[in-house]
């Protein structure tokens, strides 16, 4: 490689002696010579010897010119890239990986610490006048502009912290290109210091990444990749923590689902999983042992009851000797006050169990009904079909039509507005239901709330009785079945054949093949339509058909698979879910909260560090904040105008791609090396400063070449004289 490569063209001057030789030969002088006998007496051998010497001298002269040209071009031996000599100023970009995987400790030192050492090694190889820029990979790419103050750059390196996100090498290379392609006469150096995690390179090699600039001979770049850490892939991570129920109600028993993933190639047994809550629940933090298959997931359901409404930060922690950052996951569970449910009953006359609302009420508020100590999921209000129109619908989150005969147009509009605003509607037609009225006011040729058109119910004589044959186990409504394949034993004597509209979804079927449960959506709300009643008239569903036989002493058995109660509760939770505030956000997702009264102020904290005031919008009752790129636990503290404060928690969860620590294979390394043209340095084996200094400087050869040229000139002179020396 050459510092002044263009001067190398001067080596063409090596042809000059030859040209001069030929010109001189062509432009010879004539001399009338008297001593011809001494010329003509030269033997052929002497003549040939003389010619050889002549050519040797000519060759020496040509070589001499070429040697001088090469020396002036300042070749560098050992330098791997051109255009950089020992004196050229350097602009270096250091891409430093600070993603979550860099937090893995190996031999008592984290990967990030090793990376910092390597980066400082790079800085130590720079000289006064050189510039360095930092590109930090992680949750977001952070660029620190080029600076000549190397000490300040070293401080920047030392202050780098782990972020929760994953690295994106392709994006970092784009940032580096912007820096290195700026105009200027300087050597360009690029250092990528990262771990061997393959997921970081996922976008390299894609169509969007231009790599030609790395191989531009006019602006060559010395590119080094220094991977730190091993290719270890054993890691257990908590993937998700969420409430099993769509709505979590105060004092209502619920479950938390924690999903763990083992990224390693070996199964893990007895991994300790701990669950805690803040504010704390009545129950002490739970610790359970979990077994994980190799490269697989395990879902653990942990029972939980929240005593207070409001934001609860639930933290799942797994004890594993691997990457720490994914061994803990925070999630916010917004615990609500019991749902306000209104059951519109078609007939409340008769004994309690004969009322159309009876079983529904029992299912939704068993403790209220029985005056137990635990919490009901809902506060149930029962209205008759005649007077329910007088009740304001606003306070109810879910309305259940239980065998109601008909719905007036006004009430249908009110229901529609309620659903569009996010409220829930469950329709359970029965013997009293007038299908024409329902179809006219609630279905309205598919434009209404009802997700299906009802037809005349099947024969009342039971000749078309059926059972429930198929349920969508993946749907949240049937989540309570925990993936089991059992079916309720209930017999459905009568039901309405229904024709679902195009956008409706059938969640369950009878054995007859006709829909059992149909979901529809309107606006922000959800509507569930059962095609049979839940008052015991047409089916044995309320009686929970999966009832074991009494024992030998006649004592009632415990139901193996309770269906009706969890089914009703699950339906109510599902249709009310849109009303549940979203407290678990992705980076960049808007953080918002709505309050009943006007706010005087709203302040935000992140991980107990104040951020500042949050914007209050919508007449002073809403807060909306969009700067949520940084993961963490956000606390929104509001002060009401009327007095009083209230805190709401949010969790912004970072990228979960980092837990996969699988490293690049040897073939992948080779492929990227070919594509990007980098040199790989192992900082553990080879001091990066020494390698860089050697590659940068190489060894300039101009001096030895010049000395060789001088010696050659002297040789040419000497030989020339020696070969024409006068004999004494």
Partner 1 sequence: MGFVSRYLDPALVEQLNQLQLSARSVVQGPTSGQHRSPIKGASVEFRQHRFYVPGDEPRRLDWRVLARTDRPYVKEYEEETNLRCVLMLDRSGSMAYGRQFGTKFDYAARLLAAMAYVMLGQTESVGVAMCGKGVESWLAPHAGPTQLGAVVNALEGSSPEGESDLGRAMHDVAERLERRALVIVLSDFFMPPEELRGGLAHLRHERHEVVWMQVVDRDEEQFPFRTWMRFRGLEGECGQLCEPVVLRRVYLEAFARHRRIIREMCLGLHAEFGSYVTDRPVLEALKQFVGRQGKA
* Residues that bind partner 1 in the complex, under the rule CB under 8 A: 24-25, 27-42, 46, 50-51, 53-54, 57, 720, 723-727
- In the bound state with partner 1, the residue whose beta carbon lies nearer, of 131 and 716, is 716
Go through 124-160 and write b for each residue having 16 or more CB atoms within 10 A of its CB, e for each that does not: ebbeeebbbbbbbbbbebbbbebeeebeebbebbeeb
Question: Minimum CB separation from partner 1 for residue 44, in Å?
Answer: 12
- In the bound state with partner 1, the residue whose beta carbon lies nearer, of 391 and 719, is 719
Residue whose C-alpha is closest to residue 1's, from 708, 700, 706: 700
As a whole number of angstroms, the distance between CA 363 and CA 376 comes to 9
For residue 408 the two structure tokens come to: 């007036």
Residue whose C-alpha is closest to residue 304's, from 248, 363, 365, 368: 248
Question: Minimum CB separation from partner 1 for residue 46, in Å?
Answer: 5
- In the bound state with partner 1, the residue whose beta carbon lies nearer, of 54 and 269, is 54
Question: Minimum CB separation from partner 1 for residue 23, in Å?
Answer: 9
Between strands 268-278 and 310-319, the pairing is antiparallel
- In the bound state with partner 1, the residue whose beta carbon lies nearer, of 48 and 291, is 48
Question: Minimum CB separation from partner 1 for residue 713, in Å?
Answer: 16
Residue whose C-alpha is closest to residue 130's, from 93, 177, 181, 104: 93
| 216 CB burial (10 A radius; 0-12, 13-18, 19+) | exposed
Contact yes or no for 428/402 (Cβ under 8 A): yes
Question: Minimum CB separation from partner 1 for residue 37, in Å?
Answer: 5
- In the bound state with partner 1, the residue whose beta carbon lies nearer, of 24 and 690, is 24
Residue found under tokens 């010619």: 51
Complete DSSP assignment for 309-360: -EEEEEEEEEE-SS-STTSEEEEEEEEEPPEEEEEEES---SSGGGSTTHHH
- In the bound state with partner 1, the residue whose beta carbon lies nearer, of 310 and 720, is 720
Q: Where are the beta strands (DSSP E) in 244-285?
A: 248-249, 254-262, 268-278
CA distances (Å), origin 419, targets 399, 528, 555, 575, 690: 9, 11, 45, 9, 70
For residue 353 the two structure tokens come to: 């169990």
Residue found under tokens 């210091």: 193
Question: Minimum CB separation from partner 1 for residue 14, in Å?
Answer: 19
As a whole number of angstroms, the distance between CA 35 and CA 652 comes to 106
Question: Minimum CB separation from partner 1 for residue 709, in Å?
Answer: 21
- In the bound state with partner 1, the residue whose beta carbon lies nearer, of 61 and 188, is 61
- In the bound state with partner 1, the residue whose beta carbon lies nearer, of 544 and 716, is 716
Non-local (6+) Cβ contacts of 264 within 8 A are 233, 234, 235, 236, 294, 295
Question: Minimum CB separation from partner 1 for residue 50, in Å?
Answer: 4
Question: Minimum CB separation from partner 1 for residue 708, in Å?
Answer: 24
Question: Minimum CB separation from partner 1 for residue 693, in Å?
Answer: 49
Rg (CA), the chain: 41
- In the bound state with partner 1, the residue whose beta carbon lies nearer, of 42 and 550, is 42
- In the bound state with partner 1, the residue whose beta carbon lies nearer, of 32 and 485, is 32
As a whole number of angstroms, the distance between CA 706 and CA 596 comes to 88
Question: Minimum CB separation from partner 1 for residue 211, in Å?
Answer: 57
- In the bound state with partner 1, the residue whose beta carbon lies nearer, of 456 and 724, is 724
- In the bound state with partner 1, the residue whose beta carbon lies nearer, of 42 and 353, is 42
Question: Minimum CB separation from partner 1 for residue 40, in Å?
Answer: 6
For residue 435 the two structure tokens come to: 């299908």
Q: Cβ–Cβ contacts within 10 Å for residue 596, how many?
A: 6
As a whole number of angstroms, the distance between CA 619 and CA 178 comes to 45
Question: Minimum CB separation from partner 1 for residue 59, in Å?
Answer: 13
As a whole number of angstroms, the distance between CA 284 and CA 263 comes to 30
- In the bound state with partner 1, the residue whose beta carbon lies nearer, of 29 and 685, is 29
As a whole number of angstroms, the distance between CA 239 and CA 498 comes to 40
User: What is the CA angle 622-307-255, rounded to 5?
Assistant: 95
Alpha helices by DSSP H, listed for 330-480, are 358-364, 366-370, 409-420, 435-437
Contact yes or no for 308/335 (Cβ under 8 A): yes
């Amino acid at each position: 490689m050459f510092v002044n490569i263009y001067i190398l063209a001067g080596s063409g001057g090596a042809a000059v002696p030859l040209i001069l030789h030929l010109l001189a030969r062509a432009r010879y002088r004539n001399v009338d010579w008297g001593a011809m006998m001494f010329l003509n007496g030269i033997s052929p051998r002497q003549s040939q010897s003389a010619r050889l010497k002549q050519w040797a001298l000519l060759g020496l002269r040509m070589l001499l010119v070429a040697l001088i040209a090469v020396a002036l071009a300042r070749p560098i031996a050992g330098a791997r890239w051109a255009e950089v000599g020992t004196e050229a100023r350097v602009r270096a970009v250091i891409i430093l990986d600070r993603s979550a995987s860099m937090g893995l400790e190996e031999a008592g030192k984290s990967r990030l610490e090793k990376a910092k050492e390597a980066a400082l090694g790079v800085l130590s190889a720079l000289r006064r006048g050189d510039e360095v820029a930092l590109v930090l990979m992680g949750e977001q790419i952070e660029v620190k502009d080029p600076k000549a103050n190397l000490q300040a750059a070293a401080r920047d390196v030392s202050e780098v912290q782990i972020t929760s996100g994953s690295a994106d090498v392709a994006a970092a290379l784009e940032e580096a290109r912007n820096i290195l392609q700026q105009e200027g006469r300087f050597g360009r150096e690029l250092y990528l210091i990262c771990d061997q995690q393959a997921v970081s390179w996922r976008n390299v090699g894609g169509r969007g990444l231009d790599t030609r600039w790395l191989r531009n001979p006019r602006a060559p770049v010395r590119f080094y990749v220094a991977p730190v850490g091993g290719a270890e892939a054993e890691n257990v991570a908590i993937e998700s923590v969420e409430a099993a129920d769509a709505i979590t109600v105060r004092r209502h028993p619920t479950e938390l689902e924690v999903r763990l993933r083992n990224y390693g190639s070996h199964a893990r047994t007895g991994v300790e999983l701990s669950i805690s809550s803040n504010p704390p629940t009545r129950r002490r933090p739970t610790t359970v042992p979990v077994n994980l298959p190799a490269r697989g997931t395990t879902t653990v359901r942990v029972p939980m009851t929240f005593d207070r409404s409001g934001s609860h930060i639930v933290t799942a922690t797994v004890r594993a000797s691997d990457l720490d950052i994914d061994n803990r996951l925070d999630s916010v569970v917004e615990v609500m006050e019991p749902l306000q449910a209104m059951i519109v009953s078609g007939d409340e006359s008769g004994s309690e169990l004969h009322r159309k609302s009876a079983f529904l009420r029992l299912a939704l508020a068993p403790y209220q009904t029985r005056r137990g100590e635990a919490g009901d999921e809902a506060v149930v209000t029962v209205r008759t079909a005649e007077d329910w129109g007088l009740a304001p619908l606003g306070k109810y989150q879910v309305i259940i039509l239980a065998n109601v005969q008909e719905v007036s147009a006004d009430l249908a509009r009110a229901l529609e507005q309620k659903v569009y605003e996010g409220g829930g509607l469950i329709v359970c037609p029965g013997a009293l239901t007038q299908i024409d009225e329902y179809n006219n006011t609630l279905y309205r040729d598919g434009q209404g709330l009802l997700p299906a058109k009802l037809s005349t119910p099947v024969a009342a004589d039971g000749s078309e009785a059926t059972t429930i044959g198929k349920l969508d186990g993946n749907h949240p409504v049937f989540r309570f079945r925990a993936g089991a394949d059992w079916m309720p034993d209930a017999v459905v004597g009568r039901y309405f054949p229904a024709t679902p509209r195009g956008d409706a979804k059938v969640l369950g079927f009878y054995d007859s093949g006709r829909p059992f449960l149909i979901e529809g959506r309107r606006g922000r709300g959800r509507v569930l339509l059962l095609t049979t009643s839940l008052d015991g008239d047409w089916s044995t569903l309320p009686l929970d058909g999966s009832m074991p036989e009494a024992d030998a002493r006649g004592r009632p058995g415990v139901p193996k698979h309770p269906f009706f109660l969890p089914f009703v509760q699950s339906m109510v939770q599902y249709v009310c879910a849109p009303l549940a505030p979203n407290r678990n956000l992705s980076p960049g997702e808007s953080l918002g909260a709505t309050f009943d009264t006007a706010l005087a102020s709203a302040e935000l904290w992140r991980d107990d560090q104040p951020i500042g005031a949050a914007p209050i919008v919508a007449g002073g009752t809403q807060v909306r904040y969009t700067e949520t790129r940084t993961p963490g636990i956000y606390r929104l503290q509001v002060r009401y105008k009327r007095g009083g404060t209230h805190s709401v928690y949010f969790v912004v969860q970072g990228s979960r791609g980092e837990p996969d620590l699988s490293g690049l294979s040897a073939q992948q390394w080779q492929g990227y090396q070919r594509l990007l043209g980098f040199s790989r340095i192992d900082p553990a084996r080879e001091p990066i400063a020494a390698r860089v200094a050697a590659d940068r400087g190489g060894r300039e050869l101009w001096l030895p070449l010049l000395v060789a040229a001088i010696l050659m000139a002297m040789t040419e002179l000497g030989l020339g004289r020696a070969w024409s020396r006068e004999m004494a």
